[in-house]
Structure 1
Amino acid sequence: MRSGRLTEEITIERATVTVDPDGTPVQSWVHLATLRAEKVEQSTTEYIRNFGASDEEVIVFRARFFDGITNADRVVWNDDPFNIKSVAPVGRRKGVEMRCVRMPE
């Protein structure tokens, strides 16, 4: 993995549940790591669903290995949240490839 290709800065966030003063559980996102990454692929696909047409933006990021990233986490890139669909190691703990889908607003 060449460091010159790691041109994007991404943030990995993890969902946590806290209880507010009224006793209601509230989900929030906590910063896990900030990584330099390479944007390998970016595409948009249109789907016809029950509620009509919708677009799905898919981005694949490749970064240096960071232990503990799961599908339950999310990536924030350019202030836009992306849901992690799959995490695949690259080599022997050399890097990690994350396939992400833009989260609905």
Structure 2
Amino acid sequence: MRAGKLDRIITIERKTETVADSGAVVVAWTNVASVRAELVNASLADHTANYGTAEEGSIVFRVRYLPGVAAPDRIVYSGISYDILSINEIGRRRSLEIRCGRVR
């Protein structure tokens, strides 16, 4: 992966739940990492052929390999939150391709 293509910055967040003194469960998103990423523009036809139906507001990022990233996490890019739909490892721990859908 060429460093010149990693021209975006994304933040990977993980959901944490804590119990307040009142007994209520408080949900918060905490930053796991801020990394440089490549924004991949997949065509609608390619996305439909590979994954069934196209998700409105979907986006694909490529990042250097980062252990521990999982589907329950989410990505924040340009102030917009995206749920992780799938994660594909490229090569042997070389990079990750993360397909995301906009949080509704």
| TM-score, structure 2 normalization | 0.85
How far residue 43 of structure 1 moved from its aligned partner, in angstroms, is 7.0
Structure 1: 4+ residue segments shifted above 3 A: none
SS in 2 for 1:4: helix
Structure showing the higher strand proportion among its residues? 1
Paired residues in the alignment total 94
For the pair 1:24 / 2:24, whether they are aligned, the reply is: yes
Contact 1:8 1:37 in 2 (8 A): yes
User: What's the counterpart of residue 52 of structure 1?
Assistant: none
Q: Percent of counterpart pairs with the same letter? A: 43
The CA RMSD over aligned residues, in Å, is 1.5
User: What's the counterpart of residue 4 of structure 1?
Assistant: 4
Give the letter aligned to residue 20 of structure 1.
A
Residues 4/75 of structure 1: CA separation in 2 closer, same or farther (3 Å cut): same
User: What's the counterpart of residue 80 of structure 1?
Assistant: 80
User: What's the counterpart of residue 48 of structure 1?
Assistant: none
- What is the correspondence of 1:28-39 to structure 2 with a 5 Å cutoff? 28-39=28-39
- Please list every run of 5 or more consecutive structure 1 residues that lacks an aligned counterpart in the other structure: 45-54
Contact 1:42 1:58 in 2 (8 A): no
Distance in 2 between the 1:20 and 1:41 partners? 42
| TM-score, structure 1 normalization | 0.84
Distance in 1 between the 2:8 and 2:35 partners? 8
SS in 2 for 1:56: coil
How far residue 56 of structure 1 moved from its aligned partner, in angstroms, is 1.9
